[in-house]
Amino acid sequence: MNSDHLRALAAAVDHGTFDAAADSLRISGSAFSQRIRALERHIGQPLLRRTVPVSATDAGEHLLRLARQSIALEDETLSALGVGRTGRTPMPVAVNADSLETWFLGVLQRAATWDDVALTVHAEDQAHTATLLREGTVMGAVTATPEPVSGCVAVPLGTMRYHPVATRFLAELHADSLGRPDLTRMPVVNYGPRDSLQHRVLAHAALGSPPHHVIPSVAGYLHAVTRGLGWGMLPASQISDTVAAGTHPDLMVLPTLDSVDVPLFWQRWSSGPGSLDRLTEAVLSCADAMR
């Protein structure tokens, strides 16, 4: 299979339009279109949806992962031989936002010493990062999905524990006649539409749907909860031992709600460049901070 055609497929998805993809490969628009058509003729079915942005069909998603693997291996081999591309190998990965703000920072610190890799990190909910791997968008993903994506391997990383945290002021403001927090009225803070932790806890406690705020930033979410906008599920690594012990002067773990353990896994291509092995070693080492 022609590697130029595979590069064109990946560039179309990465850049969103044929014109931008052609510019990235430094070829004309007509030459780029010819490469895509030739690849589709070879496969025998459409690989791209000609939308804005361009997206892969189901067949295109299967081929996209092969394309990225082939490109990465080819570039790494040519670089080792001193020919072809000599720049950094692109390394797209998907990481859930809470990990990115906590233990995964150690991975970034190690990557700062590598001169042959260019990281692109996609921040996504842990329940959805495997989708980016399945689509061929990333080489590896921190995910809550234990079943390996086709063509990938999965390794357990550990468990992130989340506690339902609120300010004592907020709990007193929404206290019932017995002085207990009335969670049917107390606002809840969600990270975004794909953040299901609070919904799971509320559903388990049969508390219905209280008012909710949406703060799509990890730092902003933490500040919103710790400053009393609403209660929310915070990773254990983001709260002090005094909060968990019930002795913090301003914050408390809501006693009538459950804490939640979220097992995480590292899924990566089963074959790939050596730099992916190095990244995997860093991920597994730094994930020890969760345990």
Residue type, 114: W
Q: Are 213 and 187 in contact (CB under 8 A)?
A: yes
What confidence score (pLDDT) does residue 82 get? Answer: 74
pLDDT exceeds cutoff 80 at 279? yes
CB neighbour class for 44 (10 Å; exposed up to 12, middle 13-18, buried from 19): exposed
Three-state SS for 91? Answer: strand
| CB-CB neighbours of 118 under 10 Å | 13
pTM of the full predicted structure? Answer: 0.79
Q: What is the pLDDT of residues 249-268, one digit of tens each?
A: 999 999 999 999 999 999 99
CB neighbour class for 288 (10 Å; exposed up to 12, middle 13-18, buried from 19): exposed
Residue type, 123: A
Q: What is the pLDDT of residues 136-182, one digit of tens each?
A: 789 999 999 999 998 899 999 999 999 999 999 999 999 988 888 99
CATH 3.40.50.620 matches 92-291: no
What confidence score (pLDDT) does residue 86 get? Answer: 55
Class of domain 1-87: mainly alpha
Rg (CA), the chain: 23
What confidence score (pLDDT) does residue 85 get? Answer: 59
Where in the chain is CATH 3.40.190.290?
92-291
Mean pLDDT value of segment 36-40? 96
**Host H or E run for residue 100:** helix 97-100
Encode 180-199: b = buried (16+ Cβ within 10 Å), e = exposed.
Answer: ebebeebbbbbbeeebebbe
Q: What is the pLDDT of residues 215-224, one digit of tens each?
A: 999 999 999 9
Q: What is the pLDDT of residues 92-125, one digit of tens each?
A: 999 999 999 999 999 999 999 998 888 999 988 8
Q: Are 137 and 118 in contact (CB under 8 A)?
A: no
Q: How far apart are CA 190 and CA 199, in angstroms?
A: 9
Mean pLDDT value of segment 14-43? 95
Where in the chain is CATH 1.10.10.10?
1-87
What confidence score (pLDDT) does residue 119 get? Answer: 92
